[in-house]
Chains A and B, each alone.
Chain A
Amino acid sequence: MRRRRNDVPLDRDPSGRHLPWLVAIMVYLATLALVCAVELSRVAVRWDTGLSGRLTIQIPPPNDDEATKPPGGQGALERVIALLLATPGIISAEVLEPDEIARLLEPWLGAAARSADLPMPTLIAVTVDRNSPPDLARLGREITAVAPGASIDDHQAWLGRLRAIVRSIGAVALLVVGLVTLSAVTIVVFATRMGLSVHSEVIELLHLIGALDSYVARQFQSHVLSLALRGGVFGLLMAVLTIFAVWSVFDGRFEALGALVRARGLEVAAVAVLPLAIAFIAMMTARWTVLRTLGRMP
């Protein structure tokens, strides 16, 4: 008959019945949002370092169909190469063979990419010393001076957009976590207020025998903590299962997960902390609600 029973019979009323489910759903959403944001930012970092050391310079084909006036011509390519090799900060400049270009274009154009009729631009792949890159704006001006119509693509515009997307997805994820926390707080406030009014007689009796408000608050705290923990752990479990499922669709191999977990210890810990954090916030909200509500009574 040993027991740690609550003096306020909160487990027998509906005020907290839906709390675990709501917390489970909220933790689920927040976990997925966080994982997505973290994954995306990792991918973005990888792209970033993979690409930003490279430039592509495009010289339009010499005999355009409209043929207003052939701007570049073969001479232009040599001039550009010479200019590039003379520019400090540039490690190499390599002209892509027409075959290679055709191969790159094939997925979009099909066999037509190999057609000799198709006017192909000349592409130069440039590797830049990332530690002391050249002044790209000036380089661009110099290139158009020697080869009018040539364009320089440092992937920055694209990368910039990518970074913006990743950043905004991160912000959305944080927003989701924030909203989830806010809803958790709201739900707990209402559940606690309901509990206070359902059990007003018990609480009055506790007061009459000398209980402090903090004693009453503890009854609610421990109840809400256990409900929120239960819901949070369940939500986390569901989120992890979802991530595993998605992962296995992409990768097909479950063995890789162990390595993933080992490699991302910190992030895994952060995700595991989420339900604990929400449960803690729920508990403190219950405490605060009780103390505030009772404190306003005469």
Chain B
Amino acid sequence: MVRFEDVALRYGTGPDVLRHVSFHLEPGSFHFMTGPSGAGKSSLLSLIYLAQRPTGGRIRLFDRDVHNLSRKETALMRRQIGVVFQDFRLLDHLTALENVALPLKVVGQHDAKVDRHVAELLAWVGLADHLHSYPPTLSGGQKQRVAIARAVVSRPSLLLADEPTGNVDERMAVRLLYLFEELNKLGTTILIATHNESLVARFRHPVLRLDGGRVTVTRATAPVRPDKGSAA
């Protein structure tokens, strides 16, 4: 599904943010990604959702080399990837409902059925009362949930979430993780970048640990900490 081979990334003439990064995400797998702030988690995700190209190495997505995709192929590939951005990237002039429906609208679906489906999804993440609110009037945690709903609305084959629980309380975080697990059971491959160690411990999925520009994959068989929950 996602294969990195000796990937390197650098911004301009700066130092390598990522180097010698190699890993493979099997279709249908569920991974966390952890690492200190500035380790390059967001950068790594941006390589997967094709916002930038690596400065070295090779990336394969859906069994295709991403290096020479045309603009159209890039767009079509992105339609199979749902992304929860660390900074949400909601459109302020559209309501929560319209924001979430956008990925469907972009591929040419928009009708009453879509709206109903979107409204249900927003209700599921606890925003039934905010369907017609504009993002600037929402709290950080509410915006985050709109962003999550938008990422999953089109049932992507691959879901990338960058710190998707950073602005919500532990209970909502767990609820959102269950949403991701549901999606995973339906076949979506999932990669979640997070600082929340207690979630990582609780859900016991393998972890990509990013440090010093390199990745190590840890099988999270043993919980890092007992499941007492170190509240965020």
Contacts and interface: CB of A to CB of B under 8 A. Distances in A.
A298 B66 CA distance: 13
A211 B75 contact: yes
A59 B98 CA distance: 89
Contact of B71 (A202, A206, A295): A295
Interface in B83-110: 83, 89, 91, 93-94, 98, 102-103, 105-107
A202 B78 contact: no
Contacts of A5: 93-94, 98
Given A1-B132, A7-B105, A295-B71, A209 B78 contact: yes
Given A207-B75, A209-B78, A215 B93 contact: no
Contacts, number: 51
Contacts of B107: 210
Nearest to B153: A209
A208 interface: yes
Name which of A1, A210, A295 has the most chain B CB atoms within 10 A of its CB: A210
A212 interface: yes
Nearest to B79: A210
B76 interface: yes
Contacts of A12: 93
B222 interface: no
B48 to A, nearest CB: 12
B49 interface: yes
A203 B132 CA distance: 22
A9 B93 contact: yes
A207 B78 contact: yes
A102 to B, nearest CB: 81
Q: Which bracket fits the contact residues of A?
A: 20 to 34
A298 B75 CA distance: 12
Contacts of B98: 3, 5
A213 interface: yes
Contact of A208 (B49, B71, B72, B132): B49
Nearest to B91: A202
Contacts of B231: none
A205 interface: yes
Contact of B75 (A201, A210, A297): A210
Interface in A239-298: 294-295, 297-298
A85 to B, nearest CB: 84
A212 B94 contact: no
Interface string A1-26: 10101010100100000000000000
B76 A210 contact: yes
Nearest to A297: B71
B72 A212 contact: yes
Contacts of B53: 298
B69 to A, nearest CB: 11
Name which of A5, A9, A207, A294 has the most chain B CB atoms within 10 A of its CB: A207
A298 B51 CA distance: 10
A216 to B, nearest CB: 10
List the 3 closest A-B pairs by CB distance, nearest first. A210-B79, A9-B93, A210-B78
12 contacts: A3-B98, A7-B94, A12-B93, A201-B89, A206-B102, A206-B106, A209-B78, A210-B76, A210-B79, A212-B71, A215-B106, A294-B71
Interface of B: 49, 51, 53, 71-72, 75-76, 78-79, 83, 89, 91, 93-94, 98, 102-103, 105-107, 132, 150
